[in-house]
Amino acid sequence: MNSSVKVLLLQTAILAVVSTLFYFLVGPRLAVIFVLIWVDKALIPLLRFAGYFGFEMATLPAILIGMSYGPMFGFLFSTVAVAIIGGILNIISWRIVSPLDIGWPPLLPSPDHFIDGIVSVIAGILPRTFPFILVVLICVLVKNAMAAVKQQGMEGYVNYLDRGMNVGVNLIVAWLYQGAFLYILSL
């Protein structure tokens, strides 16, 4: 069996166990949001080109967490829990296939996790009367502004094409699946 298939099968088993735990301990909303995080941490890395085009699925779950559970829980979940979840999935990948260069030690929150935590805070404090797509627009613009500052500081340049594509991809996904995201918020 191909090593990538082994990784995906093991990560899928972890998805099933953790989302079931979330479902029974916290409720279906967090279980569904965890599935979205898993897509970002397990499936998208298999599409090795996706990162070059601003494609990620961490922003929308961060927004949903903030809107669902408030700014404090959203910040802690997006920084600490997502770092641990991503770290565990990366460690599993390292054991089965060759080590991946993820640019940050596993299990430790990275600047990107803190940016997503701030996105959760913003989503958690915006009025519930705002349309969902407006909340996404505000959060995605703020996230990409912070990501540009982080990229300039850590890498010495800003990839504006990547930032623009990230805004576009997140807005398109939010618009196309707005009904599903609103349903998740109602669980």
What are the pLDDT tens digits along the chain (187 aa)? 677 677 777 777 877 888 888 888 888 998 889 888 888 877 776 666 655 666 788 899 999 999 999 999 999 999 998 888 878 777 776 666 555 555 677 778 889 999 999 999 999 999 889 999 999 999 999 999 999 999 999 999 998 988 999 999 999 999 999 999 999 999 8
Distance separating alpha carbons of residues 40 and 46, to the nearest angstrom: 10
CA 45 to chain centre: 12
Contact 116, 81 (CB under 8 A): no
Do residues 44 and 54 touch, judged by C-beta distance below 8 A?
no
> Which pTM was predicted?
0.86
Amino acid at 161: L
Distance, CA of 134 to CA of 119 (rounded, Å) = 13
CATH class of residue range 3-186: mainly alpha
Residue whose pair of structure tokens reads 């565990």 in the numeric block: 88
Residue 128's Cβ-side half-sphere holds a number of Cα atoms within 13 Å equal to: 8
